[in-house]
Amino acid sequence: MKQFTSVHDVSDPFQLVQEALALKAQPHAHTDLGRNKTVILVFFNPSLRTRLSTELAAKNLGCNVMTLNVADGWKLEFADGTVMNAGTAEHIREAAGVMSQYADILAVRSFPGLEDKEKDYADQIMRAFMEHATVPVVSLESAIRHPLQSLADWVTIEEYKRRKRPKVVLSWAPHPRALPQAVSNSFLEWMQQAPVDLVLTHPKGYELDPSFVGDTPVIYDQEEAFADAEFIYTKNWSAVYPYGQKPEVEKDWQITEAKMALTNKAFFMHCLPVRRNVVVSDGVIESPKSLVLPQAGNRLYAAQAVLKSLLENV
């Protein structure tokens, strides 16, 4: 693997899931791999899980780790040919070139603006790092994808599934703010390669980009979609058309005990952070079927599997 920005960078995603499970069994089996190697984590946006799990994953492999919060540094310019006489102080060409001299792997998190679909879906910040860094780039979540989250989700499903090919439902849920589509886009992309029967359910008006939905069946009735489900993966996202908006929804799409009772004793999953009693009821998230904590725990082994694979090639 030369970089990790989407499932398309991974030649065998199932093998990567198995690698993460092996690292979970023996997290300190490769502490020499990262000796004298440095991972730089660059955050344009906040994080709890991604930052801590990736730092620990790098340390478990013996790497040095440095983290840069971009808000504390120079404001970066991404457009080429700009006359930089306004707010931006440093061009990504120099910034990525400099960081590449200090790091063996560069990992980057940047959220979308949710104002201009074309701009966000061009994934400008991640692409600029991929273009101008001279070391492998890892996505810690971009404007349109969150592949480390999806890898951890697949690991969790692999651990908890009760039969070879479970039914997995990705369900929209309400949220007070307009949120990115990245987690849901990525989840679709990874689950389309997993041994699962995947169903997508959301209110009309919240259709995801067709390039991510692909052939995944869409059911607009949440309760119908939940029938026979063995995993309910919940996430809010804002509309793709009109981009970044929150069209009114008539029914209540919150994940409740009554809705979980319609499933085949399904597990509840969410990437966190989650708004309790808006996205999901206290009763569901605190039930024995809730996987939110093991799912977050698996972020460590997902990150470790990715960094290990990259370090084996640097």
Q: Which one of the spans 46-54, 95-103, 239-247, 279-287 is the region binding ligand CP (CB under 6 A)?
A: 46-54
Binding ligand CP (rule: CB under 6 A), the pick from 29, 31, 35, 48 is: 48
Q: How far is the CB of 154 from ligand CP (least distance, A)?
A: 14
Give the residue among 18, 96, 19 at the shortest CA–CA distance from 61.
19
Give the residue among 294, 223, 313, 310 at the shortest CA–CA distance from 24.
294
Q: Closest CB to ligand CP among 6 and 149?
A: 149
Do 61 and 125 meet the contact criterion of CB atoms below 8 Å apart?
Answer: no
Do 149 and 271 meet the contact criterion of CB atoms below 8 Å apart?
Answer: yes
d(CA 176, CA 266): 26
Instruction: Work out whether 271 is an interface residue with ligand CP (CB under 6 A).
Output: yes
Instruction: Work out whether 272 is an interface residue with ligand CP (CB under 6 A).
Output: yes
Q: How far is the CB of 182 from ligand CP (least distance, A)?
A: 9
Instruction: Work out whether 198 is an interface residue with ligand CP (CB under 6 A).
Output: no
Three-state DSSP class for 199? strand
Single-letter amino acid, residue 294: P
Q: Which one of the spans 42-50, 71-79, 214-222, 226-234 is the region binding ligand CP (CB under 6 A)?
A: 42-50
Placement of tokens 């990115």 in the chain: 180
Q: Which one of the spans 8-16, 158-166, 196-204, 266-274 is the region binding ligand CP (CB under 6 A)?
A: 266-274
Q: Closest CB to ligand CP among 114 and 225?
A: 114
Q: Closest CB to ligand CP among 107 and 200?
A: 107
Q: Closest CB to ligand CP among 266 and 292?
A: 292
The angle subtended at Cα 85 by Cα 84 and Cα 89, nearest 5°, is 55
Instruction: Work out whether 41 is an interface residue with ligand CP (CB under 6 A).
Output: no
Q: What is the largest CA-CA distance in the chain?
A: 60
**# residues near ligand CP by CB under 6 A:** 9
Do 136 and 176 meet the contact criterion of CB atoms below 8 Å apart?
Answer: no
Q: Closest CB to ligand CP among 149 and 238?
A: 149
By residue count, the chain amounts to: 314
Q: How far is the CB of 256 from ligand CP (least distance, A)?
A: 22
Instruction: Work out whether 56 is an interface residue with ligand CP (CB under 6 A).
Output: no
Give the residue among 125, 117, 119 at the shortest CA–CA distance from 210.
117
Give the residue among 163, 161, 141 at the shortest CA–CA distance from 45.
141
Instruction: Work out whether 69 is an interface residue with ligand CP (CB under 6 A).
Output: no
Residues whose CB falls within 8 Å of the CB of residue 247, separated by 6 or more in sequence, listed in order: 203, 205, 206, 239
Binding ligand CP (rule: CB under 6 A), the pick from 1, 18, 21, 47 is: 47
For residues 122 to 161, the per-residue mask of contacts with ligand CP, x marking binding by CB under 6 A and - elsewhere, is -------------------x-------x------------
Q: Which residues bind ligand CP (CB under 6 A)?
A: 47-50, 141, 149, 271-273
